[in-house]
Amino acid sequence: MTLQIKDLAEYEKVYAESIKDPEAFWAAQADTFTWRKKWDKIKECNFDDVNINWFVGGKLNITENCLDRHIPSRANKTALLWEPNNPDDEVISYTYQELLNAVCKAANMLKANGITKGDRIILYMPMVPELAIMVLACARIGAIHSVVFAGFSAQALADRTQDAQAKMIVCSDINRRGTKIIPVKAIVDEAVAIGCPSVETVLVHQIGQEDIAWNHTIDKWIHHEVKDMSEVCEAEEMDAEDMLFILYTSGSTGKPKGVVHTCGGYMVYTCFSFKNVFQYKEEDVYWCTADIGWITGHSYIIYGPLLAGATTVMFEGVPTYPDAGRFWNICAKHKITQFYTAPTAIRALMACGDHWPEEYDLSSIKVLGTVGEPINEEAWHWYNEKIGKKKAPIVDTWWQTETGGILITPLPGITDTKPCYASYPLPGIEPVLVDSEGELVEGNNVEGLLCINQAWPSMIRTTYGDHERCKNVYFKMFKGRYFTGDGARRDEDGRIRVIGRVDDVINVSGHRMGTAEVENAINEHPNVIESAVVGFPHEIKGQGIYAYIITDQKEAVFADFFNEIKQTVAKEIGPIAKPDDIMVVSGLPKTRSGKIMRSILRKIAANDASNLGDISTLLNPEIVTEIKKTKGIN
């Protein structure tokens, strides 16, 4: 069984050993899984040309480890428990045996539709069990899944489909979110019309009752296709370094990057981190509220929990439907033992009032988790007092799409917790702070750029179709280290507090947004000449999006124009990227070489006019005065 650390002394011992001899440590962890063939070598990792290989020569299938491996002892244990959008609809649960059967049927359906090992499949689906089943069905036959969050627009879906050269899109007819119905299949049709030439088949899972537009040459209903499929499907033998999935995420350029994870290392790390960070015990019922469209859903709704033989809960709906007590209602209804959510959700629910959690029995909760962005002190205390009743330690887990799993976090009941601090590294993880020259920032009570020194099993392998980009973004800046893009501080006891991005990435409600991506979308509006986007402090979302715009539109009132801009962004990316605030300006502050000074714009958006730096060297210093005036600050 995968190691589960029990106390502080064991953590300290295991951590020290894991850094001294990572190969021995990871070999012991990997040994607890089912391998078709054991590895020849634990790792071969080179950060210079980004050649990362774990469990070299090993052969496995991750779904054998998620499912088949548990059948002897957990066939009738609930693997997946699904709570519907509408609380009066039926809860659906799958035992390990039922989930294995469903995954095999779906895998056989993919094969019958011409999918073979190495093909890319886009999964564009709401939070229904069929999404988890399709993820695992792909992994079963060695097809590479790329889940695209169902809130993304047709354009964003088409871009990702093309980049991945996907042969198939799997979607649903609709998506139910609170009282809203989103026409998912119609968005797929639009993406196909924009141009997804590689797509041969669109498989559609039926949720609604209404007729939908149908393209007879490529569209197929899943319930027709799966009907006669066998419940047995031999798992494809995969190399430890074969691709498991691609997940697109934003960077500082306009083009989303396809983060690539592989089979062996991802398996070992997600299981190990899940068991330890959540201290999962056999009878526990674990719930992560993330969407499977993000890495959190991949690693800690599907793979980590299933690898550990856990009961994992999946929720279709939204935190405020039918009312702001929904999360707490679900916790009480299913006696949730570990609850993992995002600071933005905590802040939003905190604003709805204490009476919501007070209405429900939350005594089953043993561990609380947060992820995605720094959690502010006020929200941390509310979570601790109102939800955990000061009895459930909060694990503030820091990680990224690129890291595959949680790297820095308290261990509940084992290491201490401190508001705003992700705290301590997991075994095998060696975080360091460096300055902009790459010099190590040592000692405590210091700040720096957060890097990770040694390779770990679930780290990014490449950015799909563009290995140079992967090298440049993460490994070139500081030789021999992985650069996270985050700034961090280390306190007097060595705990790490992650402050936020130091690059042109905004974190909106825990969702990563590239400023260039949003600017490109805004610039699609015919009356926008140029734009600059920055993040600004937002009470609920953590960061909001502030857009400065140069336009040829001559109006005294811009309300309609601003709405059009927001609609343009929703169409190009999705509603989550809509700017919260827009200001029309006559120019943007630029350096003499023409670079937009976002640092100045960021301060002004935050109503902070102090320390704007030496603006006299700008190409157009007068514009700073104009923008400050429009914003009403001096």
For 179-235, the DSSP string reads TEEE-HHHHHHHHHHHH-TT--EEEEE--SSS-----TTTEEEHHHHHTT--S--PP
Rounded Cα distance, 123 and 593, in Å: 43
Please say whether the beta carbons of 278 and 369 come within 8 A. yes
Report in angstroms how near the CB of residue 443 gets to ligand WT7 at its nearest. 22
| CB closer to ligand WT7 out of 129 and 343 | 343
| Residue whose Cβ sits closest to ligand WT7 | 401
| CB closer to ligand WT7 out of 74 and 512 | 512
| CB closer to ligand WT7 out of 142 and 374 | 374
| CB closer to ligand WT7 out of 33 and 398 | 398
Rounded Cα distance, 128 and 383, in Å: 27
How far, in whole angstroms, is CA 524 from its chain's centroid? 27
CA atoms within 13 A on the CB side of 631: 25
Report in angstroms how near the CB of residue 259 gets to ligand WT7 at its nearest. 8
Report in angstroms how near the CB of residue 381 gets to ligand WT7 at its nearest. 16
Q: Is the dihedral of CA 231, 236, 237, 238 positive or negative?
A: negative
CA distances from 298 to 205, 314, 346, 428, 537 (A): 20, 12, 21, 21, 28
| CB closer to ligand WT7 out of 95 and 401 | 401
Of the candidates 378, 380, 293, 300, the residue with the CA atom closest to the CA atom of residue 338:
300
| CB closer to ligand WT7 out of 70 and 511 | 511
Q: Encoding tokens for residue 156? A: 């964003």
Report in angstroms how near the CB of residue 451 gets to ligand WT7 at its nearest. 12
Q: Is 198 exposed, middle or buried (0-12, 13-18, 19+ CB in 10 A)?
A: middle
Report in angstroms how near the CB of residue 253 gets to ligand WT7 at its nearest. 16
What's at 368, amino acid-wise? L
Report in angstroms how near the CB of residue 539 gets to ligand WT7 at its nearest. 17
| CB closer to ligand WT7 out of 247 and 332 | 247
- Give the binding site for ligand WT7 (CB under 6 A): 249, 294-296, 371-374, 396-401, 422, 484-486, 498, 500-501, 507, 510, 512
Report in angstroms how near the CB of residue 614 gets to ligand WT7 at its nearest. 29
For 279-345, the DSSP string reads T--TT-EEEE-S-TTSHHHIIIIIIHHHHTT-EEEEE-S-TTSS-TTHHHHHHHHTT-SEEEE-HHH
Report in angstroms how near the CB of residue 562 gets to ligand WT7 at its nearest. 27
| CB closer to ligand WT7 out of 52 and 99 | 52
